[in-house]
Every structure is written in C-alpha cells, then in structure tokens.
Structure 1
Amino acid sequence: MHRDILKLNEIAAKPSRMVLGLMSGTSLDGLDIALCEISGHGTQTSCELLNFLTLEYEQDYRDKVKEVFAKQHASIEHLCLMNAWIARQHAKMVNEALDQFTVDRVDVDFIASHGQTIYHSPRVQHGLEEFPNATLQIGDGDHIAHLTGIITLSDFRQKHIAAGGQGAPLVMYGDYLLFKSDTENRILLNLGGIANLSLLPKDSRASILSSDLGPGNTMMDAYVQQYFAPATFDSDAQIASKGKVSEPLLAALLDNVFFNLGMPKTTGPELFNLQYLDSAISSAKLQLGNSELTHEDVMATLCEFTAVCVANSICSLAEDLRTVSVYSSGGGVHNPLLMQRIETLVKSGLPAVKFSSTADLSVPPDAKEAVLFALLANETISGEAIDFPASSTSMPNISMGKVSFPR
C-alpha cells in the first residue's frame, strides 16, 4: 500500500488532528490561514483555533487574478497558467505562516485549501438547461502538497454540485457542526464579497438553511478600487459616511429577479459588479433628473444596498421565530456603517433580534471561513457524510474535497 495512504489512515484514527485551513475570497485581499486542532467528527466535533493570520496579497497577485476573475471571456492560456501559479503562491504563504507560528510541518496532518474562485455560474444565472450548476476554483492541490510536504485537500465545491447543490454557500456544513445550539435560534451571517447566512433553529427537527443573500463587500470594494485607488476598500466607511443614499439608485439596484428567488440561492460578482451598478445608474437617471451623484453618494447607496439585502433576508427568516441571535463574520464586520444599518433595519421590524460577532462563539470573525474549510477536510478524512435533519433538503449529506499527496 502507498505510504501516504497508510499515513492518511493513521491520521484518520488519531484522537485529534492538526489542520491548516486556507481561504481566499472574492475580495482578493489576502490568504486567510487558520491552524486548528480538531477532535471528533460530525456533531461531536471540537475545534480549537491555535493560530490565525492573513497574509496580504501583493498588487501583482490581484492584477493577475482579475484578468480571469468573474469574466465570461478570458485567455485560456492565462487561466491554465494561473491554476499552478496561485497554488505555488499559496504554498509559499503556508510555509511562511508555519514559520511565523513556529510549527514544524511534520506536525500538520493536512491542509484544507479553498483555492481562488474564478467563476461561479448556477443554472439560474447561466440559463442553459443542458448544463448543470457550475463553479471553478483554481490553485491546484498537488502543487500545494508537493511544495509544503503536507497532504492537501482542495476543490471542495464540485461534490456539492455533483450531489445537486449549487456549490455555495458551503458555510452551513461547518456552522452546523460548530454552532448549532439547543438553547437559542441562531443566524450565522457572513459578510464577505457576497453576503450569506446559515439559519440554525434550536429545534432539532426544524429545517436548517444556508443561502447567499446578495452583494456583501464586492461592489463597494470594486468602486473604491476604481475611484479611490490605491485604497482597496472603504476603511471604517469613511467614504460612504460622507455621502447621501440615493433612493432612485437604491431602487434600481434592488430591481433584479435574484431578490425574488426563494432561499436557498447563490450568486457572485459575475452578477453584482460595476457593470450592474452602471446599468442601475442609467435606470435611475430619469428620476435623478439633473441631480449629480458624487462618488460618496454612490458608496453610501451601495452600502445601503447591501444592508437592505441582508436585513430583508434576516427578517423573512426570523419572523416566525420568537427570538434570534445573529452572529456576524467576514470583512464586512469592520464596516461600522454597514453593521449599524443592518441592525437598525432588522430591529425596526424585529426588535427581539440580537446582534454580535462570532468572537462570542470563540471564533474570530476574520478566521471563520478558513476554520470552516478545515472542518470540511476533517469530515472527509475522519468523519462521514454530515447527517442534516431530513427536512433540510437543500444540504446534500456528502463529504467534500480531493486529496493530494506530497509524493
């Protein structure tokens, strides 16, 4: 038997495993690296975050990814080259992080690498009945495994699609294992490039749900990068706070069939991008008349757009529950205007909803997604298909991730 298969068997039998979770999101800000000690599996999982850091991408990385990111037409050659190049960049970052953590590579049992999403295309978006839901993450696991010397699991989303899902969001799997409570109804809200949530009712018989909601930071970040470079995001909402929300533009932004779809649903920057904004501005011009929108006004409106999308979704899910606690994570938690607007909009209709961050659940908001991919890998190696409540038909009971050996 191959020695790496023997080693994998030994790792699976260990009482606990050292797992390095990697997450690179659509914001392209950096690689999140979470070193976790995980014991058990399924609903008996226990996870301790030992170390976490984000290694910021250089502008060269962002520029290369943007040549193919969320674009219907791009160079096949460049895409082919990027698959290996991104993996090698991530492997270099892993080795750097382990040096900073003062952790020997032989002590890490395996890496869980999300890769870099290049294109996300559910059937409701591409509209081609002969094709299934589709998504593409690049950054090949073989390169990471070989260059780090650590068994690597990658390409998690394909199994979800193969089993009838849309490839996103996958956060529910980890949310369910770590955060399900018998004493309170919980919503785990993630504000990355795209906003998504997991609904975890305290009633174990009730259906759980995970869904994208619409744009998180992606349109705001893209607008800042276009008009306020070299800034890459609106730090502390300093730009948006100087503007005024344009109601005609907000109405045009909200005028999309995506928002009429029932949950669960999924989307990405392929839909919510600066072209979408330009189209909405054109639609709003009849009502705007001679009024000129400043860049600050546009940013204020984009912030409100995200807040309304998120608040509407929370309210629709929470209205039948007497009390709900919302735990937020992702880059959006650092946008004070966005967080304040979400809470205000929700509490105007549902004052019993409580807001905090996943820090109150012992997981830092910036680390959560990297931790969740570590959990997915742990299930693949030492667990079984996650057994969701029978009513939760949108969540395939599957394990995910392809295994790459160092040798």
Structure 2
Amino acid sequence: MAGLYVGLISGTSADGIDAALVRFDADGTTRMELGRTFPWEPRLRARLVELGQGGALRSIDEFGELDVRIGEAFAAAARQLLDDAGIDPAQVRAIGSHGQTVRHRPAGAAYDGRHPFTLQLGDGNVIAERCGITTVADFRRRDVAAGGQGAPLLPALHAAMLGSGAEDRAVLNLGGIANLTLLPRGNANAGVAGFDTGPANALMDAWCERVLGQPYDADGAFAASGTVDDALLARLLDEPWFALAPPKSTGREQFHLDWLAARLTGDEAPADVQATLLRLTATTVADALLARQPGTRRVLVCGGGVHNAGLLRALAGRLPGMVVESTAAFGLDPDFVEAMGFAWLARQTLAGLPGNLPGVTGAAGPRVLGAIYPGSCSPRV
C-alpha cells in the first residue's frame, strides 16, 4: 500500500482544516511532502463551535446541509493541497478524512450512557466525488460500536515514528483537548497506552475570544498577564471526569464555557481566569503522566498548543527531569501530526488492517476502521 495519501482533520477547536500529503514507501519510510492549514468560513466555524459546545441542531435539514458543507470544505482543502504540491489527483491512493466532531459521547461520558456514540460530519461521498480520489472517513464509530472510546486513534503511529528502545517517552497532543500516548522503551504496541487528559486549547481559546475578541492567546501572553487563582483551580480540578481511569476520552461538549461559568464566582479578573485555565491544562497533563508513566524521560509535543510558550513552560515546571520538546526535534511537523495520522489510518483501512489499539481505546478487539468511498481517478489498490 505504498504511495501518496492525503490526511484531513479539523480538531476540537475547529480553528482550521489541517491537510497533509504523506508518502508511505515500501521500505516503511514515512514522510510528509506538504502540510497546509485552511481556515473555515467564519460563520460556519462559529456554528461548528456552538455545536461542539453542546448546542442543538435546529433540524434534520441543518444536519444534512452541514454534512455536505463540511465535506465540500474538506474537498476544497484537499484539492488546494494537491495544487500547491503540483500533484495530479490520479497519483493519490486515498484521502483519509477525520471530519469535524460535533458530538462525542463514548461510554462513561456525562450523559445517560445507554447508547454511546461519536459523530463526525463531512460527507465522504462529497469528498470522493469532488476530488475523484478514494476517500476513507468515519473512523471513530466502529471503535465505539466495539465498546471503545473511539479515541485516541494515533498511538500506534506515534509508537512507530517516535518510540525509543532506550527511554520511556510520551507524545502529548495539545489540540482542543489534550491527549497522551505513553511509549515505554522497546516500542511494542502491546505496552502502548493513550487517553485524553482534559481541556487544552478549547477552553483557553474560547475564554480569550469571549473577553478579548481574539481567537487564541498568542504565545500565552494573556495568561502571563494574570495570576493563577488557586481557589478557582481547585473547583475546576474537582470535576469527576479527571478521576476516571483510562480508557477515557472527552470533548468540547464536556469542557466548554458554560462548564467554566458554573465554577466562577464572577469576581475573577479575566486574565486570572486565563492563567488558571493554562495551569489546569498543565496540571491535568502532568498529573496523568506522573501517575501512569513516571519514568518518562522525553515528552514530545504536537498540536496547536506547541506554539504556546507559556503552556510549555508550565508543563516543564511540573515535569522535573523530563525533556519537553516539539515533535519537530524528530522530524515531524507538530502542526500536522494528526493529519498525517489520518492518512496512515486510510492506508490501514485499504490494506484491511486494524487502525485501533484495543488496549488504548477499550474496544473489544482490533478493528478495521472507517467507510470507503471509491474515487474515479485514484490508482487501483
């Protein structure tokens, strides 16, 4: 299954569509040829954020229209990526599209739990039709159907590309939600663990946008202008979800501005709230890592939070003896690790190979993930 693949994802923060053109060689070499981020149309993004925070769909018509609009946006991102790379679509074996999560309610989520589900929009039919490329989409729901969390799905890729025979490592993805992959030395999938740790950029971005009108806290400057409110931090950390044992995952519908507002007294300075949210992320990540793999020597960070210097300093301060650095130090662009992962998942699916690790997600067993939408111009596989 060697060849070129495209990976597409819009994360929990819905801050853009990340697109990666990835080459998998027959000798096992993997490399990203090109990565790009494409912004959402502002009004569509606002609606996606609203839905992600628990907002209700207005009608079945809206559901169907959003599914198509998101698919169109993902297809446009893929086409532009290939144009920028000078690649004919016929050279691409497949697109792996994560879609846009609008609700994530796996087992153990904060609702009645009788029918766990996860829902990502972005119609694979539209992507395959607009691009002419075989598209694999809807990766998470099979794992949930098998009793898993549907997340995280990339620890196997992290193990293959970032594991070490000499030291225990962790891969930390700081997207809207933070998640850890634990890689004990030796790099065997059987020993790999992974789980969400709680909010990362989603809450910080939302608060920054509410009080400053800015979509994110550039370099953590807003948080640095405030002081951590220890009483507020204690109320935030009292959330029962943090005490759940892995496997576990979460989303913006769990950690959103209404969740935060319920824990505010109303007297807090906005900058102090931002500083406290940053500390919340650092604390929950560090506590989870120290509890599960205290011998970790290197934490490799990817996702948008890698650009928040204040957050990385806070993490390093809570993880003495560990090197905290970007995945760029090992040749992986931190902004596109997840997009690369969905290119890899598409390859797994077309090869008839599992994409999940049951020990990570809690699924009943390995599963081939996703639905395949044939293209009109992809190479035969």
TM-score by length of structure 2 reads 0.92
Which residue is 2:156 aligned to? 173
Which residue is 2:293 aligned to? 318
Change beyond 3 A, Cα 1:393–1:121: closer
Which residue is 1:329 aligned to? 302
Which residue is 1:164 aligned to? 147
Letter in 2 for 1:281: L
> How far did residue 19 of structure 1 move?
0.2
Contact conserved, 1:183 with 1:202, CA < 8 A, in 2?
Answer: yes
> How far did residue 72 of structure 1 move?
5.3
- Residue 69, structure 1, aligned to residue 48, structure 2: no
Which residue is 2:36 aligned to? 53
Contact conserved, 2:283 with 2:315, CA < 8 A, in 1?
Answer: yes
Contact conserved, 1:173 with 1:376, CA < 8 A, in 2?
Answer: no
- Residue 136, structure 1, aligned to residue 119, structure 2: yes
In the aligned structure 2, how far is the partner of 1:175 from the partner of 1:190?
11
Letter in 2 for 1:143: V
- Residue 190, structure 1, aligned to residue 173, structure 2: yes
> How far did residue 176 of structure 1 move?
2.6
**Counterpart secondary structure, 1:23:** strand
> How far did residue 74 of structure 1 move?
2.3
- Residue 103, structure 1, aligned to residue 76, structure 2: no
Contact conserved, 1:19 with 1:108, CA < 8 A, in 2?
Answer: yes
> How far did residue 73 of structure 1 move?
2.6
Which residue is 1:306 aligned to? 281
Which residue is 1:270 aligned to? 253
Contact conserved, 1:147 with 1:406, CA < 8 A, in 2?
Answer: no
Letter in 2 for 1:337: G
Change beyond 3 A, Cα 1:196–1:299: same
In the aligned structure 2, how far is the partner of 1:299 from the partner of 1:209?
30
Which of the residues 100, 114, 124 maps onto 2:98? 114
> How far did residue 301 of structure 1 move?
0.8
In the aligned structure 1, how far is the partner of 2:356 from the partner of 2:212?
47
Deviations 1:29-49 (A, max 9, x none): 111110000135xxx743111
In the aligned structure 2, how far is the partner of 1:123 from the partner of 1:206?
23
Residues 115-124 or 66-75, more deviating: 66-75
In the aligned structure 2, how far is the partner of 1:174 from the partner of 1:392?
13
Which residue is 2:349 aligned to? 380
Residues 107-116 or 87-96, more deviating: 87-96
Change beyond 3 A, Cα 1:129–1:333: closer
Letter in 1 for 2:238: D
Deviations 1:281-335 (A, max 9, x none): 14xx7xxxxxx4211111111111111111111111222x3x5211110001111
- Residue 394, structure 1, aligned to residue 362, structure 2: yes
After superposition, the CA RMSD in angstroms is 2.0
**Counterpart secondary structure, 2:227:** coil
Change beyond 3 A, Cα 1:317–1:114: same
Structure number with larger C-alpha Rg: 1
> How far did residue 109 of structure 1 move?
1.2
- Residue 211, structure 1, aligned to residue 184, structure 2: no
Change beyond 3 A, Cα 1:232–1:129: closer
Letter in 1 for 2:285: V
List alignment gaps of at least 5 residues for structure 1: 1-11, 286-291
**Counterpart secondary structure, 1:166:** coil
In the aligned structure 2, how far is the partner of 1:303 from the partner of 1:39?
40
How many residues are matched?
373
Residues 91-100 or 146-155, more deviating: 91-100
Which residue is 1:289 aligned to? none
In the aligned structure 2, how far is the partner of 1:206 from the partner of 1:183?
17
Which residue is 1:7 aligned to? none
Change beyond 3 A, Cα 1:24–1:386: closer
